[in-house]
Amino acid sequence: MAKRKMKFVCQECGYESAKWLGKCPGCNSWNTLVEEVEASHSNNRHTLSSGLKTVSKPEKITAIESEKEPRITTSMQEFNRVLGGGIVPGSLMLIGGDPGIGKSTLLLQVSSQLAEKQLPVLYISGEESTRQTKLRADRLGVTSDLLYVLAETNMVDIATQIEEIKPSFVVIDSIQTIFREEVSSAPGSVSQVRECTGQLMKIAKTNGIPICIVGHVTKEGAIAGPRLLEHMVDAVLYFEGERHHMYRILRGVKNRFGSTHEMGIFEMKEKGLREVMNPSEIFLEERSQGAAGSTVVASMEGTRPVLVEIQALISPSSFGNPRRMATGIDNNRVPLLMAVLEKRVGLMLQNQDAYIKVAGGVKLDEPAIDLAIAVSIASSFRNQATLPEDIFIGEVGLTGEIRRVSRIDQRVQEAAKLGFKRVICPKKNLDGWEVPKNIQVIGVDTVQEALEVGLAR
């Protein structure tokens, strides 16, 4: 009997080594190399030859007919928006999130809505039994006969059931529990995740069946397993939010059939998730009137403008090294903007602690929020409140200038719809579009001008 060869594979990036290493040379992660059985050369030749049975010939791109795929739409408009208008047939989607955030609840509700449209759906759970899934379905009010539930972890049996039922939508919950018998490593390892995802992708593309797989996340918040998993799928969605808060955010990170960085807002209720059609009202409903350090910014999340409150608290430091803390924005952006305010405006902030927060648990990363952060810091430092009907939009440069931002017309229209009276934005954004009648748009060139307009009393 031939001796089995062993190898060590990194569970983060897939790096292979002949011996165990404490630190992976590929991704610099510690204690991630796990011992696995190396596949024999005969199995490799068999897999390679079986994958080359059908040889396709290259075609001229001008000779290929372009057809628009009809999308499968659910009853959740927020879910459809994140995917770019609906589910594309034959697509492979990956959704990740913290444990207990509501991934299974969301996908069970989506499966129920598709089943109510007379589309057969197969929900495969590798972590729960069929009775446990039934308990969740009873709580959510799922009563469709076209929703099939399967508790299975063997990839061969899953492929057989998909072939027999021929569903219109498949959910795999989760990919870390699925295994193939040909691969000797444990379920959830790099080899198992790679092989099972590859077979699911082949099933989806060959039969035109959209498949949504659930992926566990690491303690850093990234989807567990190799980055190859995110490269193989067509769309990557993150389900975010605090477990003890009622609002959830579905964010698109990758989408081959639509725009990325789309965001859908949901509210967790006793009977499942309910979509929030106007998230700006949710984020501003508890805003304090007349409080220093509070501003509102119109941020673009994909194709949707969202109004969010930014809060700043500036207090004298008790130590030699002042603290700079931020929640919801990049930590490096706060000292940069404070340096601009100190150098260009003359605010003595070098001995002040700064605490910045984006209310509502939203994460903002676009440069158009720079002006709102800078005005919040100056408002708290001077203890002067901004007008509650003002909105600040603009990118701040290191020389103190306010730079142009994109889609200013959509941002202003969203502000006018919610009753705001003034928008302070870059002066270079004032041309080429029509301002709504019930709102005033003020153009500024520098941070000093924005503070004179926003903090004038």
**Residue pointed to by tokens 């999130």:** 97
* Residue 397 marked in a binding site: no
Closest residue by Cα to residue 371 from 437, 287, 283, 455: 455
Query: How buried is 55 (Cβ within 10 angstroms: 0-12 exposed, 13-18 middle, 19+ buried)?
Result: exposed
Strand order in the sheet with 16-17: 16-17, 6-10, 33-37
Six-digit token pair at 46? 């068999």
Query: How buried is 170 (Cβ within 10 angstroms: 0-12 exposed, 13-18 middle, 19+ buried)?
Result: buried
Q: Are 447 and 400 in contact (CB under 8 A)?
A: yes
Partnered with residue 67 across adjacent β-strands are none
* Residue 188 marked in a binding site: no
Q: What is the DSSP letter of 175?
A: G
* Residue 141 marked in a binding site: no
* Residue 100 marked in a binding site: yes
What are the Cα distances from residue 361, in Å, to 236, 310, 333, 370?
Answer: 21, 11, 18, 18
Rounded Cα distance between 405 and 293, Å, is: 23
* Residue 400 marked in a binding site: no
Q: What is the DSSP letter of 423?
A: E
Phi, psi of 159 (to 5 degrees): -65, -35
* Residue 101 marked in a binding site: yes
SS3 state of residue 264 = strand
Rounded Cα distance between 452 and 457, Å, is: 9
* Residue 343 marked in a binding site: no
* Residue 104 marked in a binding site: yes
What are the Cα distances from residue 40, in Å, to 43, 46, 244, 269?
Answer: 5, 10, 49, 51
User: Which residues belong to the annotated binding site for ATP?
Assistant: 97-104
Residues annotated within a binding site = 97-104
